[in-house]
Amino acid sequence: MRDIGFMPRDYAAKMKAARTDIPDLASLKKLNGVDPGTAFLFGRSMFVWLPNDTTPDDGVTSLRPEGLPPAAAGRYRRATVAINKSQVS
């Protein structure tokens, strides 16, 4: 799957605002009901909640919360810095 890209300034802002109270990806998958765009930081990886995303859960770049059926919208997507504007999601 593909990461979601942010321009460097936006990525830095997301990193500063990211939640660090969730200890791991398994705990993140158990979390439901966060605000759109909420970011979570785990070591060197950042995941962002996208309520309308239906990307298949691959356990690496896209995570579906356990409380949602597979076809339902809502995914935590891994975020990266986009090199150019065409890579911004």
pLDDT digits (tens, 9 = 90+) for 21-74: 999 999 999 998 799 999 999 888 999 999 999 999 999 999 999 999 999 999
Residues in the chain: 89
Domain range holding 44? 4-87
Distances (CA, A) of 48 to 37, 65, 67, 80: 6, 12, 17, 10
Model pLDDT for residues 65-78, shown as the tens digit of each residue: 999 999 999 999 99
Tell whether the model's pLDDT for residue 86 goes beyond 70.
Answer: no
Give the number of domains in the chain: 1
Q: Is the pTM of this model over 0.85?
A: yes
